[in-house]
Amino acid sequence: MAGPPLPGLSNYSVDTSYVGPDNGAVPQSWLLPPSYSYKSDSDPGKTPDPPLRLPYLWTGEGDFKSIACSNEDFVLGAISTGPASPAYVYVTLQLTGVNAWKTRSAARASLRANYLSLLAEVEKKLELGSPPLLVRGATALIGSTLAQYMPLPVSEALLYGCGLQTGIGSTAPAAVDVVPGMRLRSEPSARQYLSPPNQSFSGYVSSGALEWITSTNVSAGTAVQAFDPFLGTIAAPQVTPPPSSPAPIYGLIDLQQTGGAFKYYRLIYPQNIIAGGAPGESGAATNIQIIGADNLADLEANPPYQAYFFGRDIVVPEIAIWLQLTSNTNPQMIWVPVGTTPMNLLERFTRWLPLNPGQNVLKLQRLALNPNWWPQGGQSYWNVAFGRPGLAVNDLRAFALPLLPGDYLTIVLGQN
């Protein structure tokens, strides 16, 4: 069977037997969005149809009809439902379907390249252009909205959610974008030296965990990221003497010093880490790197900021989700590492998984733009269906969907 199982859904759905129009009979696990259009393998159609509408992004400067960017896979434009004012002008978004539903690696790579190319063009031409046609921050909003409505392999959910590149099966290092609202859990090690006869115990030892919550800061007039809301509010100190470049990061203040505030950041994980008992190395080749830039083009090609976490430091990005353990208790906000799945949370309490249809032991809801809220737009929680409607879930990969910020997970155990 090619294509998705239904012509369109009112919820997200994890389909573990999706077969793309270009890949014969090789099934994959895909996440289908709450609204899509799929006509046939030869003409998948644009998704969603009608296009998404994002309000209040036009600055009111220039001609709103100039708000247009497109490539093989994406179409961005603007329409007006009244007078030419920001209240009536909407940015429109659609996927063309050229590569969106295909499963082969070449098509997936083309889709990703076109996604990044579109956002770079939107930022340069529309957000940072003269005059700026879109408000500051519009590029990030457009990118996240597109990701909400893209049909995606489950393995690509975090690629579009936070730029996660796992490095698995590749010679490229693993990397992840630092997104405002994330919490970075840093676990550095301190060098311990013991004199003979105990020198064999010399080496790096764990020195605890540090937690830094990233945030958007606009106190300087432009939106940049801070690694602590308070430190992002006050004047950043200058480290004296100035560090070398790439600079070593010993603690939070090295991230939040003068000249270190940028719009985008990315963590890059090395393929090699020095052994705990080996002599220390301060180079980027064996330490986690962080790079920063004020635009997407520089982040990809020539980041002006580079630093590394010193002392065998491991940095884990975490996201905030809602967890409710029964249907009649209040949800609790918890932090989970990027890559956490509903199955990971369920198995904290039980080894049993809900494989039968109609079992509401595990319920997941996800935020996405609601195109039916007219005219102002807004987000709604959409249910995530694990497997095809009415059928037993016979593939545990259905519960391996990575969680995203704001996800609402309900676990109900011990009830009929």
- Which residues in the chain are classed under CATH 2.40.240? 319-411
Per-residue model confidence as pLDDT tens digits over 218-234: 776 678 899 999 988 88
pTM across the whole model: 0.91
**What would be the CATH architecture of the domain defined by 319-411?**
Beta Barrel (2.40)
Q: Are 263 and 298 in contact (CB under 8 A)?
A: no
Average pLDDT of span 277-287: 78
Per-residue model confidence as pLDDT tens digits over 363-410: 899 999 887 766 556 788 999 988 766 666 767 778 899 999 999 999
What was the pLDDT predicted at 350?
A: 83
Per-residue model confidence as pLDDT tens digits over 36-85: 888 888 888 888 888 999 999 999 999 999 999 999 999 999 999 999 89
Residue 148 scores a pLDDT above 70: yes
